[in-house]
């Protein structure tokens, strides 16, 4: 038993060294000599931990990974090496014959697993405590889901803290068993809930935006006085721990973090909002189709700004979206546009383009020139991808992990847990180890962001 515990301590200690090392490497971009000094420092920090604490961390880590990862017929891959970009380890994982492909938890199984909620929380490795700083700064999250309760639950677990709130919107036309599975998971937490109104989501259609607004309205009606709202796809995953998010968001000081695209890049997609689109049913599929009808100019003399469907929104901004006459008028105007969630937030947020608006946390500088840190994705024609492409976005594989450790964003999109599942497994281990270590984060990069409310 003692030797087993020593092995577990060594495994967790090594992974914490990795987490701290990569965090330092990402933020300071040190020379090799300084990196060696940093590794020595982190090792000394680990030596200061009590043996009992190390054993506890190791056991919690093993409990987590044993419940989330596949059963390997070959030796488990080294997350340390994969996160370093070790080509030999990457090729070894890619070439390994893994059968079965994935021992995922079926949707129906979550109904049984959640019959005992305390046991579910413990067995699945949820972090049920927070620092005083985190308790004083709750965050609201939304997760939009259309399949795969297991991957959704892994995302929820990675971002879960008891002071936050979590709204899950599941596509109304998704299988009933998926909806039951997600309701069962939510029933085990006071701060996790399904949206009160579910939409039939159509790709690029208005119901996708309406689903988000439903979660926003539900979040505003909660008793928790959350500070920021972050919307997520179920295939995304955090790059920052909850504590790190809080530290960064306190610097934001009420500013929103929303992408803005204008000029020639906006002109490329002008037909998305200059012509009307309609919902059609063809060959058993429901989709949007462009019409010849030209749209009127947006209300309140608003000019459209393009952006992402995802962002980081202050509480005041969410209240503005739900209640301001200009915001509501733009929402109605957007009903027959293509992907309205990719212009709605951005248009309301960027005050250089629309100075007539009085948007809380809005940005007055040039939209295209500022960083955007809500989510990172590798895009076709712009970024390399070692996984596979899906609708122009990289589904991340094990060969992409080394790029994640240097990113500054809050989240990454996307993983699929049935494609090179070791990639998500290692991302999960990495963020979990960093959450448990709770070591100080260098905020220098974030302190210089141009959109902060100073």
What is the helix (H) or strand (E) element at residue 322, kind and residue range?
helix 315-323
Structure-token pair, residue 294: 């030209």
- Number of neighbouring beta carbons within 10 Å of residue 159: 25
What is the helix (H) or strand (E) element at residue 376, kind and residue range?
strand 375-376
Structure-token pair, residue 341: 């969630």
146 and 233 in contact (C-beta within 8 Å)? no
Q: Which residues have CB under 8 Å from 278's CB, separation 6+?
A: 288, 289, 291, 336
For residue 96, which phi and psi values (nearest 5 degrees)? -65, 140
| Total length of the chain | 454
Q: How far is CA 442 from the centre of its chain?
A: 21
Q: Which residues have CB under 8 Å from 300's CB, separation 6+?
A: 326, 329, 330, 356, 357
Bridge pairing between strands 375-376 and 393-395 = unpaired
For residue 233, which phi and psi values (nearest 5 degrees)? -90, 150
412 and 396 in contact (C-beta within 8 Å)? yes
- Number of neighbouring beta carbons within 10 Å of residue 345: 27
Bridge pairing between strands 165-170 and 192-194 = parallel
d(CA 406, CA 334): 37
Which residues are catalytic, by number? 342
Structure-token pair, residue 368: 């295209």
For residue 76, which phi and psi values (nearest 5 degrees)? -60, 135
DSSP code per residue over 278-302: EEEEETTEEEEEEEEEEPPPPGGG-
């Amino acid at each position: 038993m003692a030797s087993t515990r020593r092995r577990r301590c060594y495994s967790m200690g090594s992974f914490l060294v990795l987490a701290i090392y990569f965090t330092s490497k990402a933020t300071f971009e040190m020379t090799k000599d300084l990196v060696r000094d940093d590794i020595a420092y982190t090792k000394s920090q680990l030596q200061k931990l009590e043996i009992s604490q190390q054993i506890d961390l190791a056991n919690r880590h093993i409990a987590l990974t044993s419940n989330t990862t596949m059963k390997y017929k070959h030796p488990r891959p080294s997350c340390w090496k994969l996160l370093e970009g070790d080509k030999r380890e990457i090729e070894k994982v890619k070439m390994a014959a893994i059968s079965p492909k994935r021992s995922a938890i079926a949707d129906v199984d979550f109904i049984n697993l959640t019959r005992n909620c305390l046991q579910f929380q413990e067995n699945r490795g949820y972090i049920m405590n927070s620092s005083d700083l985190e308790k004083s700064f709750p965050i609201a999250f939304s997760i939009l889901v259309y399949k795969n309760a297991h991957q959704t639950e892994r995302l929820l677990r990675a971002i879960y803290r008891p002071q936050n709130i979590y709204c899950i919107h599941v596509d109304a036309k998704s299988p009933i068993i998926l909806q039951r599975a997600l309701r069962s998971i939510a029933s085990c937490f006071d701060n996790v809930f399904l949206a009160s109104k579910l939409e039939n989501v159509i790709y690029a259609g208005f119901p996708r935006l309406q689903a988000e607004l439903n979660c926003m309205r539900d979040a505003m009606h909660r008793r928790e006085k959350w500070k920021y709202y972050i919307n997520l796809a179920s295939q995304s995953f955090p790059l920052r721990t909850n504590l790190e998010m809080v530290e960064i968001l306190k610097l934001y000081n009420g500013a929103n973090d929303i992408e803005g695209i204008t000029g020639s890049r906006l002109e490329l997609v002008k037909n998305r909002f200059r012509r009307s689109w309609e919902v059609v049913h063809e060959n058993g599929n429901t989709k949007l189709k462009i019409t010849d009808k030209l749209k009127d100019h947006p209300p309140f003399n608003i000019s459209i700004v393009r952006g992402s469907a995802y962002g980081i929104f202050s509480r005041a901004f969410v209240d503005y979206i739900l209640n301001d006459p200009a915001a509501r008028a733009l929402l109605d105007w957007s009903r027959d546009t293509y992907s309205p969630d990719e212009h709605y937030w951005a248009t309301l947020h960027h005050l250089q383009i629309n100075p007539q608006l009085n948007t809380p946390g809005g940005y007055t500088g040039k939209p295209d020139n500022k960083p955007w840190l809500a989510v990172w994705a590798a895009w076709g024609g712009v970024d390399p991808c070692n996984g596979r492409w899906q609708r122009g976005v990289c589904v991340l594989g094990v060969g992409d992990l080394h790029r994640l450790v240097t990113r500054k964003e809050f989240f990454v999109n996307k993983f699929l847990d049935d494609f090179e599942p070791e990639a998500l497994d290692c991302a999960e281990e990495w963020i979990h180890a960093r959450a448990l270590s709770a070591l100080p984060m260098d905020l220098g990069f974030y302190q210089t962001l141009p959109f902060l409310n100073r």
